[in-house]
Amino acid sequence: MKVLVVGGGGREHTIIWKLAQSPHKPELFAAPGNGGISKLATCVDIKATDVEGVVQFAKENSIDLTVVAPDDPLMLGMVDRLEAEGLRAFGPRQNAAIIEGSKVFSKDLMKKYGIPTAAYEVFDNSEEALSYLQTVSYPTVIKAEGLALGKGVIIAADYEEAKATVRDIMCDRVFGEAGSRVVIEEFLTGQEVSVLAFTDGKTLCPMVSAQDHKRAYDHDEGPNTGGMGTFSPSRLYSEKIHEECMKNIFIPTMKAMNQEGRTFKGVLYFGLIMTKDGVKVIEYNARFGDPETQVVLPRLQTDLLEIFMAVAEERLKELTIEWTDNAAVCVVLASGGYPKAYAKGLPIHGIETAEEDKDITVFHAGTAWNGEQLLTAGGRVLGVTAVGPNLEKAINKAYEGASKIYFDKVHYRRDIGRK
Ligand code: AMP
Ligand code: GLY
C-alpha cells in the first residue's frame, strides 16, 4: 500500500513515524517532507500548497491514500480534487475546512447550534467596529476573519490599542484579504486545553488531551510562536469535563456540520478554554495540531493507518481506538531569535545520542540534509519528545534528550509541561 503525506513539519514527521509502525508496512511518500522524514519516506519536491502537483503525483504513482495534514491545502480544496480523480484522501473537504478557515463561519455555527463560546460581533466596516469598541470592556479580542498564519488574533488592552488594531487589519490590510471582516469578542480567562478527534461524520473518537506553550520564553513571556512545546495529558481535563465536552461541544459540532451539509471527515481540533462558567470553544482547527500531534500520537496504540482508512471509508464506528495510560512531553528546539529573525543552515549534532534512549524520539520540524550534514532549515527546528509513566518523568526525559542536542544559538523553554 502506498501512502503520501502532504506537509513537511514536526506534525508530518510524527504522522509518518506512526504510519511506519503499521503492520501493513505501507510504502511512504512525503510532499515536500524534511530532513527527518527523509529517513522514513521518499520525499518528493512538491510544495504542500501545490494542489495540482500533489494530485498528479498521486495519480501517476497509484497512491492508495493521501493524508493532507496542513491547513492551507485543505482550504484550497486538495481533498476535493483528489476525490474528483477517484483517489482516496484523509482530511476534510473545502466546504468543511471552513470551520478553521473562517472565524465568522465558526462563530456563527456555534451560536446557531448552542455550542458554548465567547460572545462576539462581526464587522465588515471599520467605522462600525470602532464605535462598537467604545462600548466594550477591556481587554477585548479582535480576530481577522480568514487564515492569517496564526497571527490574526489580537488581545487589545484598551480602546487605543483596539483602534490601532482595527485600522491595521481593516484599513491597512496587514493580513491581506483575511482582514475584510473582523470578529470582536469577549475576553475569556482560564487554562487552554486542546482535544483532537478523529471523525468520519458519523462517529467521533476524541484523542487524549494536550496543552501547548505558545510564548517564546519561560513563564509565558515573550512573543507568540507556532508552539514551543506540548504535553499530554492535560492535568485539568478530567473524565467529568470530558463527558461535558462530548455532550455540549464535540458531538454537537459534528452534527451541526452534517446539518449544514458540510460533513467533516478527518481530524477536528477543539481549542478549549476552562472558564469559571464551564468549558468554551476558543477555536476549531480542521487538522492535527502542531506540536500537539508530537505528544498525542506517541500515546496511540491502534494502527494509525487503519484509522485513516476507516475515516476515509466512513466506517470509523467499527474500530476501537486505544491509548496508553502514560504521558508524553515535547520540547521544541528553536533557532535563536525565533519567532523574529533567525539563522538557517546551522549544523545539528547529537540527535542519535539523544535517541539511544528508547523513550526519546526527535521529530524534525525545520531541517534539511546537505550531503552528509544535517542543518537547521526553519525557526522551529526539532521537537524532542519523550514518553514516561507520568508527566514528571516524561518532562525529565525530554530535557535529558534536549541537553544532548546542539546547534549554534539553540533556544528552548525550560518549563514545558509545568502548568
Ligand atoms: P485563535 O486563533 O482563535 O485560536 O486564537 C489564538 C489564541 O488567542 C488562543 O489560543 C487564545 O490564547 C487567545 N484567544 C483567542 N480568543 C480569545 C478569547 N475570547 N479570550 C481570551 N483569549 C483568546
Ligand atoms: N498548535 C496549534 C495549532 O496547530 O494550530
The DSSP bridge partners found for residue 388 are 327
The DSSP bridge partners found for residue 154 are 142
Could you identify the atom of ligand 1 that is nearest to the CA of residue 187?
A: 20
- Residue-level pLDDT at 323: 98
The secondary structure element, H or E, covering residue 59 is helix 51-60
Question: Pairing mode, if any, of strands 380-388 and 278-285?
Answer: unpaired
- Residue with cell string 467521533: 204
**Hey, what amino acid is at 230?**
T
pLDDT in tens, 216-266: 999 999 998 989 999 999 999 999 999 999 999 999 999 999 999 999 999
Nearest ligand to the CA atom of 152: 1
**Hey, what amino acid is at 3?**
V
Q: Strands, E, within 100-217: which ranges? A: 120-123, 140-144, 153-156, 182-186, 191-199, 204-206, 211-212, 215-217
Alpha helix (H) residue ranges in 140-186: 159-166
pLDDT in tens, 2-25: 999 999 999 999 999 999 999 999
Nearest CA to ligand 1 atom 3: 283
**Hey, what amino acid is at 256?**
A
Could you identify the atom of ligand 2 that is nearest to the CA of residue 289?
A: 4
- Residue with cell string 471582516: 181
Q: What is the pLDDT confidence band of residue 149, given thresholds at 50, 70 and 90?
A: low
DSSP for 25-49, written as a single string? --EEEEEE--TTGGGTSEE----TT
Q: What is the pLDDT confidence band of residue 147, given thresholds at 50, 70 and 90?
A: low
Could you tell me the pTM of the whole model?
0.96
At 116, give phi and psi (nearest 5°): -60, 125
Nearest CA to ligand 2 atom 3: 289
The DSSP bridge partners found for residue 270 are 195, 284
- Residue-level pLDDT at 148: 62
CB 226 within 8 A of CB 173: no
Nearest ligand to the CA atom of 11: 2
- Residue-level pLDDT at 177: 76
CB 270 within 8 A of CB 196: yes
Nearest CA to ligand 1 atom 1: 283
Q: What is the pLDDT confidence band of residue 179, given thresholds at 50, 70 and 90?
A: confident
Task: Provide the CA 44 distance to its chain's centre, in angstroms.
Answer: 23
- Which of 277, 282, 284 has most ligand 1 atoms within 8 Å of its beta carbon, as the pocket-test mutant? 282
Distance (Å) from CA 247 to ligand 2 centroid: 24
Distance (Å) from CA 282 to ligand 1 centroid: 6
- Residue-level pLDDT at 150: 57
Q: What is the pLDDT confidence band of residue 163, given thresholds at 50, 70 and 90?
A: very high
**Per-residue pLDDT averaged across 322-330, rounded?**
98
- Does 279 have pLDDT greater than 80? yes
**Per-residue pLDDT averaged across 382-388, rounded?**
98
The DSSP bridge partners found for residue 384 are 331, 362
Nearest CA to ligand 2 atom 5: 289
Query: For residue 248, which of 114, 85, 390, 353 has the smallest C-alpha distance?
Result: 114
The residues lining ligand 2, judged by C-beta closer than 6 Å to any ligand atom, are 212, 227, 285, 289-290, 292
Task: Provide the CA 385 distance to its chain's centre, in angstroms.
Answer: 16
- Does 159 have pLDDT greater than 80? yes
142/125 Cα distance (integer angstroms): 14
Q: What 3-state class would DSSP assign to 373? A: strand
**Per-residue pLDDT averaged across 104-132, rounded?**
95
Angle between helices 304-312 and 10-19 (to 10 degrees): 100
| Lowest mean per-residue pLDDT among 33-37, 174-178, 196-200 | 174-178
Q: Strands, E, within 214-265: which ranges? A: 215-217, 221-224, 229-232
412/333 Cα distance (integer angstroms): 5
Q: What is the DSSP letter of 89?
A: E
| Lowest mean per-residue pLDDT among 49-58, 99-108, 150-159 | 150-159
Could you identify the atom of ligand 1 that is nearest to the CA of residue 120?
A: 19
Angle between helices 94-101 and 103-113 (to 10 degrees): 90
Could you identify the atom of ligand 2 that is nearest to the CA of residue 290?
A: 4
The secondary structure element, H or E, covering residue 270 is strand 266-275
State if residue 187 touches ligand 1 by the CB under 6 angstroms criterion. Answer: yes
Q: Report CA-CA distances (Å) from 147 to 81, 97, 98, 402.
A: 21, 11, 10, 32
- Residue-level pLDDT at 151: 65
